[in-house]
């Protein structure tokens, strides 16, 4: 894997923090903190495929099932090929401490403006071409509109 590519970040939903990581041969989105109730417990890995899409939520994608079609072609909003999803993302962070502060905040909203610069920075660092992460661009799925 190119050393310039982002290898990890934290995604915060209203109830959870996910640690999203990529290595040479795998990708993971593991819930590390839970506030309140969720169907996904701490320690569970949302990554059921070989890519993680970052859109309005985290989505696991198994590219082996659809070798001829890149992830962007599945951005129809119908979730074809996308295996599992998180709750809507509030913000993205490079540091765990920042993610914890966000999770503790009151009245968090999807793509919350209070942390928009953090979110944009992570998305920019991931970029348009990454072997394990895909940043959704379609109006239906993009995190930042």
| pLDDT, tens digit, 9 for 90 and up, residues 57-100 | 998 876 665 444 445 455 554 445 555 789 999 999 999 999 99
The answer to whether residue 23 sits within a structural domain is yes
CA dihedral 18, 132, 73, 63 (to 10 degrees): -100
The answer to whether residue 2 sits within a structural domain is no
Q: How many domains does the chain have?
A: 1
Residue 23: other Cβ atoms inside 10 A: 11
Q: Quick one: pLDDT at residue 77?
A: 45
Which sign, positive or negative, has the C-alpha torsion 47, 17, 96, 122? Answer: positive
Q: Quick one: pLDDT at residue 50?
A: 81
Q: Name the token pair of 128.
A: 């348009």
Q: Quick one: pLDDT at residue 39?
A: 86
| pLDDT, tens digit, 9 for 90 and up, residues 15-66 | 999 999 998 888 999 999 999 888 889 999 998 778 888 989 998 876 665 4
> What's the rounded mean pLDDT across residues 2-12?
84
Range of the domain at 118: 8-135
DSSP character for 88? Answer: P
Residue 130 in this model has a pLDDT that exceeds 70: yes
The answer to whether residue 141 sits within a structural domain is no
Q: Quick one: pLDDT at residue 83?
A: 59
The answer to whether residue 131 sits within a structural domain is yes
Query: What's this model's pTM, rounded to 2 decimal places?
Result: 0.87
> What's the rounded mean pLDDT across residues 122-143?
88
The answer to whether residue 14 sits within a structural domain is yes
Q: Quick one: pLDDT at residue 69?
A: 44
The number of residues in the chain equals 145
The answer to whether residue 140 sits within a structural domain is no
């Amino acid at each position: 894997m190119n050393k310039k590519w982002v290898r990890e970040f934290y995604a915060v939903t209203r109830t959870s923090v996910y640690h999203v990581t990529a290595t040479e041969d795998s990708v993971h989105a593991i819930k590390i903190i839970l506030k309140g109730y969720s169907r996904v417990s701490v320690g569970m890995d949302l990554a059921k495929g070989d890519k993680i899409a970052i859109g309005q939520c985290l989505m696991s994608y198994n590219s082996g099932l659809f070798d001829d079609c890149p992830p962007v072609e599945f951005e129809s909003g119908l979730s074809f090929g996308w295996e599992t999803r998180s709750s809507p993302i509030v913000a993205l962070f490079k540091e765990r401490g920042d993610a914890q502060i966000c999770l503790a905040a009151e009245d968090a909203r999807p793509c919350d403006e209070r942390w928009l610069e953090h979110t944009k920075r992570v998305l920019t660092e991931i970029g348009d071409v990454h072997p394990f992460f895909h940043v959704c661009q379609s109006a239906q799925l993009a995190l930042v509109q």
